[in-house]
Structure 1
Amino acid sequence: MKTGYSILSVVAVMGLLWGGSAEVKGQDAATNKPEVKKKVDAQQRANAKTGRNAAAKKPVRKPNPAFEPPQVVDGLPNVLLIGDSISIGYMVAAREKLKGVANVWRPTTNCGPTTKGVESLDSWLGDRKWDVIHFNFGLHDLKYMGPNNENLADPESASSHQQVPIDQYAANLKKIAERLKKTGATVIWRETTPVPKGAKGRVVGDSKRYNEAAAKVMEEVGGIQVDRMYDFAIKNVENLPANVHYSQEGSKKLAEQVARSVKAAIESRAK
């Protein structure tokens, strides 16, 4: 019986193998040709440049000056301002108004609703000895959320709900007020500013309702001063755009009110 292949079959197979190897070698050689290599290098440089340009065009967010720590002056009282974006807006101007009177700090975040306050208060207080604490929660509690927690939902929608209902708001606020009082600082509750007509995701008049609930809490806790910011803001409504935030001039007006209440608290502690 014959067990080998014919000479012609062997030659044919070797030819195929040799041809395939030659083809691969030819591809490698083509890639390494000077003109092809130049094109590849040029494309790589172009891709790298595009990446650098994209990175360069990406805006760099500047640090918010409201979150910067104060230039501490030894011997001055330490003041902590707690609140949402309204307080962030007046922070720098309030610090300037209290220059030489107090070292003014705030948490490096938007303090949001009372739920966040209950969770984060101890970290915001830290281990510093506070003389005056001026605080507010409200606008983030009373705003409406969608069924999937969409922010600033339509209050008229049956599927919308306030982020923190007023009863829960009062319970949370009581916990916060009691904790702040334990610090030994003079504690000032700052009323929530008004919701103007046209504000998205909020209802005109809700600030007043939540302030009334807060007033009962402060009376129950006792020993807490009140910054009547709601009435003050109503008088400066021209500085309020069609949302809850203030113009730069409006924030400066609020800062004046904050500074007055803080100064009065410091003076009362000195007596």
Structure 2
Amino acid sequence: MSLAAQDAAKIPEEIEWTWEVRPAHADAKLPNVLLLGDSITRNYFPEVTQDLTGVANVYLMASSTCVGDPRIEHQIAEFATMEGVRFQVVHFNNGMHGWGYSEAQYKAAFPAFMRTVRALTLESSTLIWASTTPVRIDKEVGPTNARVDERNKIALALITSAKISLDDQHALMMEHRDLYKDDIHFNDAGSKIQGDQAAAQIRAALSMNRLPKAQAR
């Protein structure tokens, strides 16, 4: 079977989900920011929202769908149609789900994923890739740190080539391995640390976007 044919196959998890949040009262004078990821992103989304109060309208799209699953581009496009806004910054991650997909499939599908994310933005917008965080304990069927590392390596090469910024959430949380609340997710203190770093990078990107073009180069 060809890699393209393999990529077209759906390998669903036992529980599939999406979680979308929009600002209750978006301010038309503020830029729009999107956090795109999974339940880890969902956990630090409130801290990012708090940190960027008065700075940006912060949206969330979290999903269990993995790069390699043909549904993900459709889900993101549907979200974009529903919200009807363009984002000045998209902070995005994908890599903790879809362990039925090989890393070869993940690599083959990642460029299309980036193009779909890029379609959410304005011409002057910034993309920020968040590396996938380490797990506390390797799972025999599921995430292992070796596979997380490989997916991060694949993603880093592709985002570097595409000149996309990196928020190294993996390196950050390697320094806080005492803050897990389960084998994958971090507790409130850990999520706050993650959210603060994500918000700082988003704030910096928004500041650069507001500079005149000659200064922003």
What is the TM-score of this pair, normalised by structure 1?
0.63
Q: Aligned to 1:164, what secondary structure does the other structure show?
A: coil
- Match for 1:263: what amino acid? R
Secondary structure of 2:34 counterpart: strand
> What's the counterpart of residue 176 of structure 1?
113
Contact kept in structure 2, 1:227 and 1:258, CA below 8 Å:
yes
Aligned runs of 1:211-230 on 2, under 5 Å? Answer: 211-220=152-161, 222-230=162-170
Q: Does 1:117 align with 2:72?
A: yes
SS of the residue aligned with 1:79? strand
> Residues 90 and 127 of structure 2 are in contact (CA less than 8 Å); yes or no, is this contact kept in structure 1?
yes
Where does 1:214-253 land on structure 2 (aligned, <5 Å)? 214-220=155-161, 222-253=162-193
Greater helix fraction, Structure 1 or Structure 2: 1
Shift of 1:242: 4.4
Structure 1 counterpart SS, 2:97: helix
State yes or no: 1:196 paired with 2:136.
Answer: yes
Which is strand-richer, 1 or 2? 2
Tell me which residue corresponds to 1:86: 40
CA displacement at 1:240 relative to structure 2 = 1.6
TM-score by length of 2: 0.78
Instruction: Give percent identity, aligned residues only.
Output: 26
AA aligned opposite 1:75: K
Q: Distance in 1 between matches of 2:168 and 2:209?
A: 20
8 Å CA contact 1:118–1:176 kept in 2: the answer is: yes
Q: Could you tell me how far apart the structure 1 residues matched to 2:114 and 2:187 are?
A: 29
How big is the shift at 1:135? 0.6
Partner amino acid for 2:59?
W
Q: Which has the higher contact order (CA 8 A, sep 6+)?
A: 2
Aligned letter for 1:165? Answer: S
Alpha-carbon distance in structure 2 between the residues aligned to 1:74 and 1:239? 37
Deviation readout 1:5-30 (Å, 9 max, x if unpaired): xxxxxxxxxxxxxxxxxxxxxxxxxx
Supply the distance in 1 between the matched residues of 2:22 and 2:182 (Cα, whole angstroms): 31
Question: Are residues 111 and 75 of structure 1, via their aligned partners in 2, closer, same or farther at CA, if it must alter by over 3 Å?
Answer: farther
Question: Which residue of structure 1 aligns with residue 53 of structure 2?
Answer: 99
Q: 1:262 aligned to 2:202?
A: yes
Query: What are the residue-to-residue correspondences of 1:9-24 with 2, within 5 Å?
Result: none
Runs of 4+ aligned residues of structure 1 deviating over 4 Å after TM superposition are none
- CA drift of 1:215 comes to 0.9
Q: 1:64-91: per-residue Cα shift (whole Å, max 9, x none)?
A: xx84421212211100110011011111
Q: Which runs of 5+ in 2 are unaligned?
A: 1-18, 212-217
Question: 2:96 matched to which residue of 1?
Answer: 139
8 Å contact kept, 1:118–1:172: no
Query: How many pairs does the alignment contain?
Result: 185
- AA aligned to 1:113 is C
Contact preservation (8 Å) 2:134, 2:173: yes
- In the TM superposition, what is the alpha-carbon distance from 1:113 to its structure 2 partner? 1.1
Distance 1:218 1:94 in 2: 22
Displacement, 1:243?
0.7
Equivalent-residue separation in structure 2 for 1:130 and 1:198 (angstroms): 36
Q: Provide the rounded CA distance (Å) in 2 between the counterparts of 1:229 and 1:241.
A: 17
- Other-structure match for 1:130: 87
Structure 1 residues 102, 111: CA separation in 2 closer, same or farther (over 3 Å shift)? farther
